[in-house]
Structure 1
Amino acid sequence: MDVVTIGETMTLFTPNEEGPLRHARSFSMKFGGAESNVAIGLSRLGHKSRWISRIGEDEFGDAMLSFIRGEGVDVSYVTRDPHSPTGVFFKEFRRLNDTRVYYYRKDSAASKMTADLLREAAIEDAKYLHITGITPALSKTCRLALDKAIGIAKENGTKIVFDPNIRLKLWGDKSEARSFITRYASKSDMVLPGLSEAEFLFGEGSPEQLVDHFHELGVEIVMMKLGKEGSLISGPLSQKKHVKGFFVERVVDPVGAGDAFAAGVLSGLLDGFSLEEAARRGNAMGAMATMVNGDAEGLPDRADLALFMNGNSDDVTR
């Protein structure tokens, strides 16, 4: 197995028109979750990925499992909860460059993941374990499950990749969020923070200074997302390099771009790329994800990715 991810995925309802959600009358049903987005992105690029979670024994859970399995992701370690629902969220395309997200995930099946449900066999054969700061924010039992996953990874030489993905509405308490996010970062081999997340954790500073704070926690590799500016990478010797981003004329849906970046970076590393080359693939994946409505719908296969990265500008393929 190349990459294992663990975390909640929810049923996503997207309005079929722009404007305030109160005026929406029809919706499209999709699925979204940071960890499953990464697993799908990797699978589309030909890598072996596994997603671990807990979902409800309901129609939404059935549809979700079918969709993610259909994308080639291993879902054999997903468990079902007959008493708790699959989480739901809504997107609102209020106006251009103003996308909002509303979550209905309290007491969801995923929030009731426990360490007892996690099997060592689910992680021990993986090259990478991808985790985010969303999972420990869901519940105390999720934190224990994540701690167990990290322990299994370390025992088996699996590299740990951590995306802070800070959701203050889930944490509630900012100091608690800082404490847990820095704790999980310190246990990771690679961290993929956004600039605003690094500022939340460490205060103001240049991207280079903020990257150093992660190294001080013991993180070997830091790849900081800088939006349209690309990313800043810093390796074992703290040699920092800015990797230019890809131009996107119109952002359709920014949600999921960070997950696409993570998938691109991991794909590059699995292909034997340097950190700079992997970051460039991550930048391209992140840019492509913003051009399509949906969390996972814009994730490309290798052919589409190559066309985009090579600057193909043909508007129509005949």
Structure 2
Amino acid sequence: MANLTEKLIFSFGESLWDCLPDGRQPGGAPMNIALHLHRLGAPVRLISRIGEDALGQELADYLRQHSLHLDFLQTDPIHPTGTVAVTLAENGDAAYDIVQPVAWDFIAEEAALQAVEQNMIVYSSLASRNETSRNTLLHLLPRTSFRAFDLNLRPPFYDQELIETLGRKADLLKMNGEEFALLKAWYGAKDVSAEEALKKISTALENPMICVTAGSEGAWLLQEGQVYFQPAFKVQVKDTIGAGDAFLAALLKQLLESAPPQQCLQYACAVGAFVASKEGANPAYTPQDIDAMLR
């Protein structure tokens, strides 16, 4: 694995408003990941695009309030700031109706983005639904030193070809349980153990590292041919919005610090569980809150 010490992490993709039954909340997996990385003390920059509208201004103000650098937050004079209609099931699981086209579909390859050179990048499939943002991402990826791909599958905005294109460029592939089931079906691994399925997917997509989050079951991490498992922390789930984003941010932070794989997984599960126990994608927490989960 590449030496990640002192690397800047760029989070590429959507920044938007999740419109829930009881009001709006800032959202979008890349923005959530950036906010959690910042909260965890990692050096992070968000690459995204908002509209020149009231919702965009409000979103930028929110990011400033959380002390996130906005050097790479573009503004779009034509397309509106992104919005998503979110509905919650009784168990807290979220379903999404994602408006298009919006500003983050048109992330441009600006000169400032040369800053990604030899740094880390985290990206997902949703931001590639439009050719403009997809081409920008594909031009940035080869210039980075470590690439983390969060599948974040949102029908109908993906197909197997896109996932394979993005997946084969990644050093780390992260997915949830439903996405794991889909990839197992794609690569002939439906009837084998989780460990064997991870290795089959790793071979198919040429990924040296794969992480699967499976909610109340826990999480798996394949690294350098070895599979690690961490049982889930027991919490009362409020909602799952942002829990996977928090998990990935914590995992990347631990990898940045060259922590052992099992420690990376345990810490990421603790952060994800804490966020799932609170309302919203970006609840406040301190290192002490996470340490308490780990005791």
TM-score normalised over the length of structure 1: 0.83
**Equivalent in 95, 102, 106 of residue 101 of structure 1:** 95
Give the 3 Å change call, closer, same or farther, for CA 12–196 of structure 1 in structure 2: closer
**1:215 partner amino acid:** S
**Corresponding residue number in structure 2 for 1:19:** none
* Corresponding residue for residue 192 of structure 1: 174
Residues 1:256 and 2:247 are matched in the alignment:
no
Please state how far the C-alpha of 1:220 moved relative to its aligned partner.
1.1
Question: Alignment identity in percent?
Answer: 25
Deviates most, 62-71 or 34-43: 62-71
> What's the counterpart of residue 58 of structure 1?
53
Q: CA deviation at 1:186?
A: 1.2
The 5-angstrom pairing of residues 2-151 of structure 1 reads: 2-16=8-22, 27=23, 29-94=24-89, 96-114=90-108, 116-117=109-110, 119-124=112-117, 126=119, 128-136=120-128, 138-151=129-142
After superposition, the Cα gap between the structure-2 partners of 1:198 and 1:104, relative to the gap in structure 1 and judged at 3 Å, is closer
- The change in CA–CA distance for 1:101 and 1:143 in structure 2 (over 3 A counts) is same
- The answer for the alignment partner of 1:292 in structure 2 is 278
Structure (1 or 2) with the larger CA radius of gyration? 1
Deviation at 1:219, TM superposition (A): 0.9
User: What residue is the counterpart of 1:314 in the other structure?
Assistant: none
C-alpha distance in structure 2 between counterparts of 1:69 and 1:214, whole Å = 39
Contact 2:92 2:238 in 1 (8 A): no
RMSD of aligned residue pairs (Cα, Å)? 1.8
Q: 1:36 to 1:110 in 2, by over 3 A?
A: same
Q: Which residue of 2 aligns with 1:23?
A: none
- TM-score for the superposition, normalised by structure 2: 0.90
Q: Secondary structure at the match of 1:11?
A: strand
Does the 8 Å CA contact 1:118/1:149 hold for their aligned counterparts?
A: no
Matching residue's letter, 1:117 = E
Partner Cα distance (2:229, 2:293) in 1: 20
Quick check: 1:89–1:104 contact (8 Å CA) kept in 2? yes
Inter-partner Cα distance in structure 2 for 1:163 and 1:100: 17
Instruction: Name the structure 2 match of 1:164.
Output: 151
How far residue 162 of structure 1 moved from its aligned partner, in angstroms, is: 0.8
Q: State the SS of the aligned residue for 1:90.
A: strand
Q: Secondary structure at the match of 1:253?
A: coil
- What is the rounded CA distance, in whole Å, between the counterparts of 1:179 and 1:118 in structure 2? 29
Note the residue ranges of structure 1 that are not aligned, 5 or more in a row: 17-26, 172-176, 311-318
Structure 1 stretches (4+) deviating beyond 6 angstroms? none
Query: Is this contact kept in 2: 1:89–1:101, CA < 8 A?
Result: no
Q: Distance in 2 between matches of 1:9 and 1:304?
A: 27
Please give the secondary structure, in 2, of the residue aligned with 1:280.
Answer: helix
CA distance in 2, matches of 1:101, 1:143: 24
Aligned residue identity for 2:150: D
- Quote the offset at 1:145 in angstroms: 1.0
User: Per-residue deviation at 1:7?
Assistant: 0.4
Q: Unpaired segments of 5 or more residues in structure 2?
A: 1-6
Deviation of residue 131 (structure 1)?
0.8
